[in-house]
């Protein structure tokens, strides 16, 4: 089998299934991010077992998610789905009193055509709590796209800009502090007359604060995030509002913001690695008429701080099998670090939403004088295994299902799911990405050193016995 070398960016498409983690696992980070939410996963016992194993069983703390298990009667349409969900939601309201309940539809609800979207508005009116419906089934979506469907549903509930400002003013007027009122009024007036910037994508609060600070250094104020820390603090969206994504798997959310909310999307690479973070900021600043200050020096300082890791990865090769849709951004960063990327497998590729990232990948390859890697959408794993055998990469970044078989065949692996849960965005977290990448490489080197040491000891013992 010959290995193809590309001089221009080419995206191939195979016919493989989604060999990824289940997308309902998005609950694990979203319920922590949206602090006044409650997630109700509607599915079978299999979904419940998966959630228990993936999210862990918490004994001393009650998480804000639950499993609505469908029984045989539900699947055969002999039971009343509406009444069952109504009982659960009333209990959730009584026990937890959330600001929003989010129904997560699974594969089973899709197969039996369960009308969650039809039941939600009626039940929302009855119990007085907003109910959002997000499809996160593994038939249609890859691992991280569960978040995409949740944020797309949430975008519809964001207030219009004028209504948002009016409600904020009314809230402030209810407080009887004249000084506070006058300050806030001045801020609102200034804010209302300038373009708003809303960032979308779920990040830990400290990472979101870091990105806010990076933009603040360039004199750009972030008006809000989707999702917000609390559902009641959703940002205003509409004409004149600029939006920019921080994750490459949010194409459905981006489409909703453009078509339904009439926002202006800033097409930028994603802030992963020093190069990606700088490019992300450089795309945002011109939109607001701001000239960037000190970005080049800041990026160089970060690269200098990564020198110990760069020495480990330079010249090493990596193969992405495809799992979480972060593959293109991670590959671009690793190429910039001096690694050789044989192939970028990705479950789904929206070329329009990732256009800036793909262009940065191409520019990075030209800058580093390396061939542009093969990009394969919906890869066939059988074909990938054959290519891995041929290429013998130093590292394969893969889903959990393929890690052990590859390790048994002498290929060092790293679970792609670890990059999803790690803090990898912004200048400050570039080191964490390389820590994950180099861990299996360092382990392999230690094993080789141990093997050589053991061999020397055995030889010395043999000589002494003679």
Domain boundary residue, one of 229, 254, 286: 286
Cβ atoms of 27 and 412 closer than 8 Å? no
**128 and 226 together in one domain:** no
**The CATH number of the domain where 91 resides is what?**
3.40.50.1980
Tell me how far CA of residue 250 lies from CA of 146, 147, 321, 347, 439, in angstroms: 9, 8, 20, 13, 29
**86 and 209 together in one domain:** no
In this structure, is residue 154 part of a structural domain?
no
The Cα 351–Cα 196 span in angstroms is 26
Q: Could you tell me where the beta strands, DSSP code E, fall in 227-286?
A: 241-245, 264-265
In this structure, is residue 336 part of a structural domain?
yes
In this structure, is residue 458 part of a structural domain?
no
CA angle, 18 then 22 then 25, to 5°: 150
Integer-rounded Cα Rg, in Å, for the chain is 25
- What was the pLDDT predicted at 276? 97
User: Which residue segment(s) compose the domain that 35 sits in?
Assistant: 22-136
**312 and 431 together in one domain:** yes
- What was the pLDDT predicted at 34? 94
Residue 345's DSSP bridge partners are 376
**233 and 338 together in one domain:** no
In this structure, is residue 122 part of a structural domain?
yes
- Which of 36, 274, 30, 304 is closest to 146 using CA atoms? 30
CA angle, 106 then 111 then 117, to 5°: 65
**313 and 435 together in one domain:** yes
Domain boundary residue, one of 268, 286, 304: 286
- What was the pLDDT predicted at 187? 42
The Cα 142–Cα 373 span in angstroms is 22
- What was the pLDDT predicted at 452? 60
Q: Could you tell me where the beta strands, DSSP code E, fall in 34-82?
A: 37-43, 65-69
In this structure, is residue 166 part of a structural domain?
no
In this structure, is residue 152 part of a structural domain?
no
Q: Is 263 annotated for ligand binding?
A: no
* pLDDT values of the chain reduced to their tens digit, one per residue, 466 residues: 444 555 678 889 887 777 778 889 899 899 989 999 999 999 888 888 888 777 765 444 567 888 888 877 666 665 668 888 999 999 999 999 999 999 999 998 888 888 899 999 999 999 999 999 999 988 888 889 999 999 999 999 999 886 544 444 444 344 443 333 433 433 433 333 468 999 999 999 999 999 999 999 999 999 999 999 999 999 999 999 999 999 999 999 999 999 999 999 999 999 999 999 999 999 999 999 999 999 999 999 999 999 999 999 999 999 999 889 999 999 999 999 999 999 999 999 999 999 999 999 999 999 999 999 999 999 998 899 999 999 999 999 998 888 999 999 989 999 999 999 999 999 999 999 999 999 999 887 777 766 565 555 545 554 455 5
The Cα 180–Cα 85 span in angstroms is 44
The Cα 48–Cα 34 span in angstroms is 21
- What was the pLDDT predicted at 61? 52
**280 and 382 together in one domain:** no
Among all chains, which residue has been given the structure tokens 């069952």?
A: 84
3-state secondary structure of 324: coil
**206 and 129 together in one domain:** no
Handedness of CA 452, 457, 460, 461 (dihedral sign): negative
The Cα 201–Cα 249 span in angstroms is 9
**303 and 439 together in one domain:** yes
The Cα 197–Cα 215 span in angstroms is 10
* Contact partners, residue 102, CB within 8 Å, separation at least 6: 30, 37, 38, 39, 40, 131, 132, 133, 134, 150, 153
**399 and 307 together in one domain:** yes
User: Strands of 395-398's sheet, edge to edge?
Assistant: 11-13, 374-377, 340-346, 317-320, 395-398, 413-415
Cβ atoms of 327 and 349 closer than 8 Å? no
The Cα 187–Cα 206 span in angstroms is 24
Looking at the structure of the chain, the number of domains it has is: 3
In this structure, is residue 17 part of a structural domain?
no
Domain boundary residue, one of 286, 301, 325: 286
**272 and 299 together in one domain:** no
**46 and 78 together in one domain:** yes
Q: Is 369 annotated for ligand binding?
A: no
- What was the pLDDT predicted at 199? 98
Q: Is 244 annotated for ligand binding?
A: no
- Which of 18, 65, 76, 73 is closest to 42 using CA atoms? 65
The Cα 316–Cα 302 span in angstroms is 21
**305 and 390 together in one domain:** yes
């Amino acid at each position: 089998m010959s290995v193809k070398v590309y001089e221009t960016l080419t995206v191939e498409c195979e016919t493989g299934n989604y060999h990824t983690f289940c997308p309902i696992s998005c609950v694990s980070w979203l319920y922590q991010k949206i602090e006044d939410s409650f997630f109700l996963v509607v599915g079978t016992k299999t979904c419940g077992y998966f959630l228990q194993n993936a999210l862990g069983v918490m004994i001393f703390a009650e998480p804000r998610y639950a499993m609505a298990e469908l029984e045989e009667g539900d699947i055969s349409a002999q039971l009343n789905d509406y009444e069952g969900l109504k009982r659960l939601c009333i209990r959730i309201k009584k026990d937890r009193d959330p600001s929003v309940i989010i129904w997560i539809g699974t594969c089973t609800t899709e197969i039996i055509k369960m009308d969650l979207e039809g039941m939600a508005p009626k039940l929302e009116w009855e119990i007085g709590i907003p109910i959002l419906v997000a499809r996160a089934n593994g038939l249609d979506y890859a691992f991280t796209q569960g978040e995409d469907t949740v944020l797309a549903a949430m975008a519809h509930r964001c207030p219009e800009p004028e209504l948002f400002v009016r409600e904020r003013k009314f809230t402030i007027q209810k407080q009887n502090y004249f000084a506070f009122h006058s300050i806030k009024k001045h801020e609102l007036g200034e804010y209302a007359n300038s373009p708003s910037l809303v960032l979308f994508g779920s990040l830990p609060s400290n990472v979101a604060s870091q990105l806010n600070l990076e933009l603040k250094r360039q004199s750009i104020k972030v008006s809000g995030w989707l999702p917000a820390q609390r559902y009641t603090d959703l940002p205003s969206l509409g004409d004149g509002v600029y939006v920019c994504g921080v994750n490459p798997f949010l194409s459905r959310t981006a489409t909703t913001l453009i078509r339904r909310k009439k926002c202006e999307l800033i097409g930028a690479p994603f802030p992963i690695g020093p190069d990606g973070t700088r490019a992300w900021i450089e795309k945002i600043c011109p939109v607001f008429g701001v000239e960037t200050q000190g970005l080049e020096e800041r990026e160089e300082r970060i690269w200098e701080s990564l020198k110990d890791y760069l020495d480990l990865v330079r010249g090493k090769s990596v193969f992405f099998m495809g799992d979480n849709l972060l593959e293109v951004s991670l590959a671009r960063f690793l190429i910039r670090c001096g690694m050789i990327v044989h192939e970028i497998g990705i479950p789904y590729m929206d070329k329009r939403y990732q256009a800036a990232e793909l262009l940065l990948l191409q520019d990075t390859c030209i800058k580093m004088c390396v061939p542009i890697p093969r990009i394969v959408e919906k890869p066939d794993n059988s074909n990938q295994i054959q290519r891995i055998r041929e290429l013998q990469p130093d590292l394969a970044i893969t889903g959990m299902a393929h890690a052990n078989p590859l390790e048994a065949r002498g290929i060092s692996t790293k679970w792609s799911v670890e990059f999803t849960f790690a803090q990898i965005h912004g200048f400050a977290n570039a080191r964490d990405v390389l820590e994950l990448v180099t861990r299996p490489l360092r382990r392999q080197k230690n094993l080789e050193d141990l093997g050589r040491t053991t061999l020397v000891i055995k030889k010395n013992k043999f000589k002494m016995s003679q």
